[in-house]
Amino acid sequence: MKKRFKFISILLFLLLIVAACSNNQDTEQSSESSTENKENVELTISAAASLSDAMDVIKESYLEEHPEVTLTFNFGASGSLQQQISQGAPADLFFSAAEDKFDLLVEDGTIGEEDGLDLLGNELVLVVPKEDQSITNFENLVDNELDKISIGTPETVPAGKYAKESLENMGIWNDVESKIVYAKDVRQVLSYVETGNVEAGIVYKTDAMVSDQVEIVASADPSTHTPIIYPVGIIQESKQYEAAKGFYDFLQNEASLKVFEEYGFTIR
Say if CB 156 and CB 169 are below 8 A apart.
no
The amino acid occupying position 120 is: L
What is the DSSP code (8-state) at residue 137? Answer: S
Is 50 annotated to bind a ligand? Reply is yes
Which positions ≥6 away from 62 have C-beta within 8 Å? 69, 71, 247, 250
Eight-state DSSP code of residue 29: H
Q: Would the annotation count 96 as a binding residue?
A: no
Q: How many CB atoms lie within 10 A of CB 23?
A: 10
* 78 annotated ligand-binding residue: yes
Q: How far apart are CA 47 and CA 51, in angstroms?
A: 7
**Pairing assessment for the beta strands 180-183 and 229-235 based on DSSP bridges:** unpaired
159 assigned ligand-binding residue: yes
Closest CA to 49 of 200, 186, 176, 194: 186
8 A C-beta contact, residue 195 and residue 132: no
Contact 213, 203 (CB under 8 A): no
| CA 143 from centroid of its chain's CA atoms | 37
Largest distance between two CA atoms of the chain: 115
238 is an annotated ligand-binding site residue: no
> Which residue ranges make up the annotated binding site for molybdate?
50, 78, 159, 186, 204
Mark the binding-site residues, compressed into ranges.
50, 78, 159, 186, 204
